[in-house]
């Protein structure tokens, strides 16, 4: 797989999953509002996709070892993978009652992260369970932290 494609897909999909799960869990804990959560997903899918794409663009430029074409390919792939992966979380929020949607969203996100981790481990000839566990533990930390931040915001500011 081309470097630019790999960078864009791996970064964009991971960021799309982790950021969106954190957002969903935190907004649910703080507001319990389906509309707020849907709005948050849409905003983060657009704004954070552009932000991450620009971040990858600048990061790749700063290495001073990629062609302009490779840099733009990484930028575009980051944007679209972040956008698409984040938008997949709209589906469970629209399809299920909110509490169920949160559970389905977290399960979906962890599945996507585990699948990506599996393929990364296979490419690196590493033990998949170690890579998957490491990445899922980080996701678990994000989920826990955003849940408590959402609770705090909700109880402090009447979410």
- Render pLDDT for 41-53 as a digit per residue (tens, 0 to 9): 999 999 999 999 9
Distances in Å between the Cα of 145 and the Cα atoms of 22, 83, 152 are 8, 23, 11
Task: For residues 34 and 61, give the distance between their C-alpha atoms in angstroms, rounded to a whole number.
Answer: 40
DSSP per-residue codes, 87-128: HTTHHHHHHS-HHHHHHHHHHHHHHHHHHHHHHHHHHHT--H
Task: For residues 139 and 150, give the distance between their C-alpha atoms in angstroms, rounded to a whole number.
Answer: 16
Domain that holds residue 47: 3-157
Q: Based on the structure, what is the number of domains in the chain?
A: 1
Asked if residues 72 and 58 have their Cβ atoms less than 8 Å apart, the reply is no
Task: List, in order, residues 6 or more apart from 25 with CB less than 8 Å away.
Answer: 102, 106, 143, 146, 147, 150
- Largest interatomic CA distance in the chain: 51
Place of tokens 């794409």: 53
Asked if residues 38 and 23 have their Cβ atoms less than 8 Å apart, the reply is no
Q: What is the pLDDT along the chain (159 residues), one digit of tens a residue?
A: 788 888 889 999 999 999 999 999 999 999 999 999 999 999 999 999 999 999 999 999 999 999 999 999 999 999 999 999 999 999 999 999 999 999 999 999 999 999 999 999 999 999 999 999 999 999 999 999 999 999 999 999 875
Percent of the chain exceeding pLDDT 90 equals 90
């Amino acid at each position: 797989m081309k470097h630019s494609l790999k960078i864009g897909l791996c970064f964009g999909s991971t960021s799309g999953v982790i950021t969106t799960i954190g957002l969903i869990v935190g907004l649910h804990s703080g507001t319990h509002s389906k509309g707020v959560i849907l709005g948050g997903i849409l905003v983060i899918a657009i704004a954070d996709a552009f932000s991450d794409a620009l971040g990858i663009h600048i990061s790749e430029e700063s290495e001073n070892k990629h062609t302009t074409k490779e840099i733009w390919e990484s930028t575009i792939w980051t944007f679209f993978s972040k956008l698409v992966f984040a938008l997949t979380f709209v589906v469970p929020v629209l399809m299920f009652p909110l509490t169920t949607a949160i559970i389905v969203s977290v399960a979906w996100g962890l599945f996507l992260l585990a699948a990506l981790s599996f393929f990364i481990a296979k490419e690196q000839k590493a033990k998949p369970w170690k890579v998957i566990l490491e990445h899922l533990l980080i996701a678990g930390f994000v989920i826990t932290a955003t849940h408590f931040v959402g609770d705090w915001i909700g109880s402090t500011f009447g979410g």
